[in-house]
Amino acid sequence: MSEYVDCHYARTRADQTRRPFLDNTLATGTVVIGGGLAGLTIALELARGGHSVVLLEGRRIGWGASGRNGGFCGPGYALGHDGIARIAGTETARELMALSREGVDYVADNHAAFGMPVDPRRRGHISARRVPARAELERYRDKMAALGLEVSVLGVEETRAQLRSPLYYESIVEPTMFAMQPLDYALAMAREIERLGGKVFENSPALSTGRFGISHLVATPRGKVSAHHLVICTGGYTSRLIPALRRAMLPIATYAMASAPDEGLLESAIATPMCISDDRRAGDYYRRTTDGRLIWGGRITARTRDPADLAALLRKDMIEVYPQLAALKIDSAWSGLMAYARHYMPQVGKLDEGLWYCTAFGGHGLNTTAAAGGLIAAAIADGDDRYRLFEPFGLAWNGGPLGPVAAQLTYWKLQLQDRWAERGVAQKRERHA
């Protein structure tokens, strides 16, 4: 029986329920493979519409990246608006950005419905720059305003009043993002699916899929499910069950840690409850929790094995930014595998009649699992074709065995560029000191 990886979210989760494994044969309208946030969203929306649905999770609900991430839910995509527009066109880019905002609202609405509403005093996201970038940020602010997304620019003094680090210069503030306990949210979704009549099974990995007439068949170690629709939502832990999906994603590791509670010490460095990140490639992202802890993440890599000194590496990153946190004790550190596509966009679509996929949410924040999951549920339930917004971002080949190598080399190159730019700023500051 699989257990949760030892991390802050698993330690503090409110729901200790153990769900059954599938041990019989079922027939249903839709079977969803993958109990992360995308799969849970699809199952929940189908159950809300009165449709029969079965969700199969190979380990525990929210076991993967959905239950181990930074907990940021805000609008946007990893590729960015300009990149989306170059590939899909300006109008599609505008619709996708609006869809990402809908995803944020959906997650916030669910939190309220589940009795754990988002605190409006803790909303917002500061994206800080490690090199001066006032003009660039003002251009970005104006571009986002044209798309209906209001952001503001903080100068150096305003930024450092919130984030007391000499490494930061200007920053952008996006007001709608919020932080969440992602595993608690995933478990609340599973409870609601079950309350509405859907079936949720843990420790039930899909071993094979096939067709029998118009039905899709899924076999697990002890049971089978037949369904009119099959949806694959397996993320960074995607197996070769559906080869076309495995060939189109790269498992990318990211790391996080949680501190012991120390409200006073954290206040001396981070004087805001907002979510925070910097502009480095594979940069730092962090936030203060309501119980006085710090969640700190970063260090994206294509190597999927954990370093032996993970907590020490992340602590070193933290102290580089905030030397005043040197005495902060670390309670836990963990990793998770995200699914990335080469085009840095979610992979959402249809492989065959009744065979859907909804995956590759690495780097986007939790809004896209909600937005994309809702599109697939609407396509199954109502024939809605808005999922086609993601068609320009198809199942591009991941590069095979060389894909992770190429990805790692790319990350190293970008990180060197970051360090070079920051070194130039530091040298200029020293000359003028």
User: What angle (nearest 5°) sits at the alpha carbon of residue 122, between those of residues 130 and 102?
Assistant: 90
- The Cα–Cα gap between 87 and 327 comes to 47
User: What angle (nearest 5°) sits at the alpha carbon of residue 253, between those of residues 35 and 40?
Assistant: 15
- The Cα–Cα gap between 433 and 422 comes to 16
pLDDT of residue 340: 82
φ and ψ at residue 378, rounded to 5 degrees: -70, -35
337 bridge partner residues? 253
- What are the tokens at 349? 């679509």
pLDDT in tens, the chain (433 residues): 679 999 999 999 999 999 999 999 999 999 999 999 999 999 999 999 999 999 999 999 999 989 999 999 999 998 989 999 999 999 999 999 999 999 999 999 999 999 999 999 899 999 999 989 899 999 999 999 988 889 999 999 999 999 999 999 999 999 999 999 999 999 999 999 999 999 999 999 999 999 988 899 999 999 999 999 999 998 777 777 888 888 888 788 888 999 999 999 999 999 999 999 998 766 899 999 999 999 999 877 766 566 668 889 999 999 999 999 999 999 999 988 888 888 889 999 999 999 999 999 988 879 999 999 999 999 999 999 999 999 999 887 666 655 555 555 565 566 666 666 656 666 565 555 5
Q: Distance of CA 96 to CAs 108, 137, 209, 237, 386, Å?
A: 19, 22, 31, 26, 10
| Burial classification of residue 352, based on how many CB atoms lie within 10 Å of its CB (0-12 exposed, 13-18 middle, 19 or more buried) | exposed
User: What angle (nearest 5°) sits at the alpha carbon of residue 46, between those of residues 45 and 51?
Assistant: 150
DSSP one-letter code for 328: P
State the sign of the Cα–Cα–Cα–Cα dihedral 81, 359, 366, 236. Answer: negative
Is 204 within 8 Å of 223 (Cβ atoms)?
A: yes
199 bridge partner residues? 54
Contacts of 286 (CB under 8 A, 6+ apart): 70, 270, 276, 277, 294, 295, 296, 297, 318
Is 266 within 8 Å of 294 (Cβ atoms)?
A: yes
Contacts of 305 (CB under 8 A, 6+ apart): none
